[in-house]
Chains A and B, each alone.
Chain A
Amino acid sequence: MTEVALVIDGVDVVVNEGVTLLDACRSIAKQQPTLCYLETLAPVNVCRVCVVEVEGSRTLVPSCSRKVEGGMVVQTDSERVRHSRRVVFEMLASSVNLALVDHPTREWMESYNVDPARFGPPAAPTSDRDQRHAGHHGEVVGGAAETVHQPIKVDNSLYVRDYSRCILCYKCVEACGDDAQNTFAIAVAGRGFDARISTEFDVTLPEGACVFCGNCIGVCPTGALMFRSEHELRQADLWEEDRQSVTRTVCSFCGVGCNLELHVQDNRIVKVTSPQDHSVTEGHLCIKGRFGYEYVQELGDLASTPVDVVLRRARSDS
């Protein structure tokens, strides 16, 4: 393997040819913010929060996808980089509900002094986003900042889609498509600010090609896609992550050996994930591993905790 030498923030770095600038940054423990990047998916470089400055380049470059080249001189914390990252975060925070983004992202936003309110108060939610025609949008008055806020989609018993939280990072599309599941139930539809994640003709998930593997939820960074159980518990104000334990085990349904992480609250499984670094799953599961856990906690008439009540309601309300 050929090695490549470059300079990042004044530090000499030697990495293997073919790795990305993000890999190179991480090799010297310089973390970068990312939203659309995930180790297990092909980089789509669309969120632009990981941009860095490369000497000689007219524009900033996305560190997640740009390959290292010998002699590159890279700045990850210049005023120019900080400016773009701040404004991009402001654009997102002013148009999307980011309340459920992960802790590191929130820290990045604080470090860049993100102020989404500078674009004006958020405009009222709309309900026509799935019907908008490319190249046409309504009159803009400018008094408020347009958002993607819209009604939540609940059309099945396993998960909900709250696209008011969607930053259009394409991760769910990639995971549903040829980066993991090869089901292709969802894609990006529409154009511009009206672009959205959609099934064909916006049909419900059960009507479309969805196989309910839940891998889209597994990769969603903003909580736009969520397990029904988690959604219902959050609605009832019963979701308490700090009271949950996570137990790693092996799925018992077939012989593949997928590892499961059982998220348990009040002695009830409330969510199932798989470790992203697990060599078999890379974080992905099938419907059985993801949702077929009810047999270990059949909620009979005696089930009586508030969590039980909500879980039972979620299951019966399909």
Chain B
Amino acid sequence: MDLRFMADEPSAVERAVIARLIDPVESRNGQVVRGGHAARGHRHLLLPALAAVQSELGWVSRGALNEICRRLLVPPAEAYGVASFYALISTDPRPAEVTHVCDDIACRQVGGLDLLSQPSGGEVVTTPCLGQCDRRPAMFVQRAGGQDEVLVSGPPATVHAGPLLRRVGKVDPSSLADFRKQGGFEGLRRAQDIGAEAVVAEVKKAALKGRGGAAFPTGVKWEAVANEPAPRYLVCNADESEPGTFKDRVVMEGDPFAVIEAITIAAFATGCEKAYIYVRGEYPLATSRITAAMAASREAGLLGELEIEVFRGQGAYICGEETALFNSIEGFRGEPRQKPPFPAQAGLFGRPTVINNVETLINIPEIVLGGGDAYASVGTPDSTGTRLFCLSGDLARPGTYEIEMGRTLGDLVELAGGFAGEPKAILLGGAAGFFVSSDYLSMPLTFEDARARGVTLGSGVVMAFNHDRDMHDIVRRVARFFRDESCGQCVPCRVGTVRIEEAVARARSAPIDRPLIADLDRAMKDASICGLGHTAASVVQSAMAMGLI
């Protein structure tokens, strides 16, 4: 491969930032001496290197991108394609401080839009949901050379704890000793006592289903990977970006060691030698706490041979899709892959991969300690255990609520102190979910009941809207979200999300074109590559069905 790089040189600062991550390719008389496969084999450093430059300088210049390309032997056009894929990376000069104000469906109802016109030291842009709906309105500040930070306006949110959240707010998230005092790492010890196969067997007995939205049986996934040849990888999907969702953040910020313990058990059970935690870029506090918890656990010798790497996302909802996430880590654009093959056969770096989200994983220590049968006795036969719900919007006490599966939506709303104002609609499952009416308050919150009613629990979003809310404005924001977050790879999603947004915009002053939306939705569901396209029009469809727009 005879790559041609640009003539642009990095500044001294840029070079130093890049040098911290990537060794230079050695060359003599213009010939590469040490490079080739060795350098190209480090392509997974591409996004971390771009992010490091972005974080230090506030943007990625031609010289910096060129230097990264020279060291990794990545073509500049491809690196530019990767850099320009992410909302948090700028390839144009930007002020040192950029404030991303959330104008998404929760924040825009309560003053989020006013924050856009507040004076700021730098640039102010809008952002989709920051996962702070329980403390809205929120903004995320990127500071070149400084610490990124989330600022929220609302009061501290409620945490209604069950077994999964029991330590949140009660344990010092920076203290391994405190975590162990409260039962931490006992699950890992037990797992090592009973052995890997027994752990997988218990998880199967527990009938744990994935909490990421697809509800796939975790034990089946694990067994499939354990039976594949090494090397295998484990990925903890912490790219929580579904509008209205914040539960994984609450876990990572409040009980980070629990996530590390769960990952360690999962990797042990499935024979994975390396684990990644992919945390969304807009979660700086969760990232630092998880990173510190991982380091402390390693230092204490609790991780054994397992290597865990915290990988920070850079602003792309689509990277929560499992195969897009793999491409993102590997240094490619976060474009989902056509399945099959499935991750259990060919996932990260083409190897067998376990991928579970944070909430799914933190169930594991409980299952190992108490046994699969005991776990399965909670909830219903098809929906075992407890589930975390993200309550926000027009409710008395927004927050994260852990309840046994099978309790009703009405119970949940009751727990949160009931509606604030006359309820008009509830968004269930997230932006990829559905609007439902008060008729659904009697619905038990289980996978099977949701399926029977044609809805989804999705990422556990329960966002209430009262009669004062401008639902057309809300639905339009959802349509805009999907158009902005589509990766652009396949036609049905790339163009379909635009046409949906346009149709919703027209419906402000005219009746909505139902056949057109239905046609688009059907083709997007049938022909898109991934779940984003499949679900992008669901909220619009359900809003039409309820007469909200």
Contacts and interface: CB of A to CB of B under 8 A. Distances in A.
Nearest to A60: B526
Interface in B492-547: 492, 494-499, 501-508, 516, 519-520, 522-523, 525-529, 534
B13 to A, nearest CB: 20
B1 A88 contact: no
B90 A133 contact: yes
Given A193-B494, A198-B81, A200-B6, A65 B338 contact: yes
A62 B530 CA distance: 12
Contacts of B86: 134
Interface string A80-113: 1001101110011011000000000000000000
Contact of A140 (B1, B3, B502, B525): B502
Given A87-B523, A140-B501, A187-B78, A192 B491 contact: no
B75 interface: yes
Give the contact-size bracket for chain A. 35 or more
Nearest to B530: A59
Contact of B525 (A59, A120, A141, A193): A59
Given A91-B496, A133-B87, A200-B80, A192 B486 contact: yes
Most buried by B among A60, A95, A133: A133
Contact of A46 (B84, B489, B502): B489
Interface residues of B, number: 65
Interface string B411-427: 00000000000000000
Interface string B469-506: 00000000000100111111111101111110111111
B77 A88 contact: no
A124 interface: no
A5 interface: no
A261 interface: no
Nearest to B8: A201
B436 interface: no
A166 B520 CA distance: 21
B79 interface: yes
Most buried by B among A62, A146, A192: A192
B175 interface: no
B180 interface: no
B282 to A, nearest CB: 12
B1 to A, nearest CB: 6
Nearest to B87: A135
A92 to B, nearest CB: 6
A167 interface: yes
A185 B2 CA distance: 11
B125 interface: yes
B502 A146 contact: yes
A46 B491 contact: yes
B47 interface: no
Given A48-B528, A135-B484, A191-B486, A88 B491 contact: yes
B333 interface: yes
A138 B501 CA distance: 12
Interface string B61-93: 010010000000001111111001111001110
Nearest to A210: B4
B128 interface: yes
A87 B497 contact: no
Nearest to B75: A184
B393 interface: no
A51 B78 contact: no
Contacts of B91: 201
Contacts of A198: 77, 80-81, 84
A119 interface: yes
Most buried by B among A84, A143, A200: A200
Interface in B1-41: 1-4, 6
A142 B506 contact: yes
A64 to B, nearest CB: 10
Contacts of B522: 83-84, 87
A4 interface: no
Given A48-B490, A195-B488, A189 B84 contact: yes
B65 A200 contact: yes
Nearest to B498: A193
Contact of A192 (B80, B494, B503): B494
B516 A95 contact: no
B77 A191 contact: no
Given A83-B526, A136-B484, A120 B491 contact: no
Contacts of A209: 3-4, 75-77
A167 B525 CA distance: 20
Interface in A156-180: 167-168, 177
B499 A119 contact: yes
A312 to B, nearest CB: 31
A190 interface: yes
A190 B77 CA distance: 12
A312 B4 CA distance: 31
A185 B491 contact: no
Given A59-B534, A140-B505, A195 B494 contact: yes
A199 interface: yes
B320 interface: no
A119 B523 CA distance: 15
Nearest to A195: B488
Nearest to A148: B495
Contacts of B491: 46-49, 88, 91-92, 167-168
B408 interface: no
A45 interface: yes
Contacts of A177: 75
Contacts of A236: none
Given A46-B491, A193-B497, 10 more contacts: A87-B496, A119-B502, A120-B506, A134-B484, A140-B501, A142-B502, A145-B502, A184-B77, A198-B84, A201-B62
Interface of B: 1-4, 6, 62, 65, 75-81, 84-87, 90-92, 125-128, 315-316, 333, 338, 480, 483-492, 494-499, 501-508, 516, 519-520, 522-523, 525-529, 534
Interface of A: 45-49, 51, 59-60, 62, 65-66, 80, 83-84, 86-88, 91-92, 94-95, 118-120, 131, 133-137, 140-146, 167-168, 177, 182-195, 198-201, 203, 208-209
30 contacts: A46-B529, A48-B490, A59-B525, A88-B491, A88-B492, A120-B506, A131-B92, A134-B315, A135-B128, A135-B484, A137-B484, A140-B501, A142-B501, A142-B502, A143-B506, A145-B502, A184-B75, A185-B4, A188-B81, A190-B84, A190-B488, A191-B84, A191-B487, A192-B484, A195-B487, A195-B494, A198-B77, A199-B77, A201-B76, A209-B75
Sort A-B residue pairs by CB-CB distance and give the 3 closest, nearest first.
A142-B505, A195-B488, A184-B75
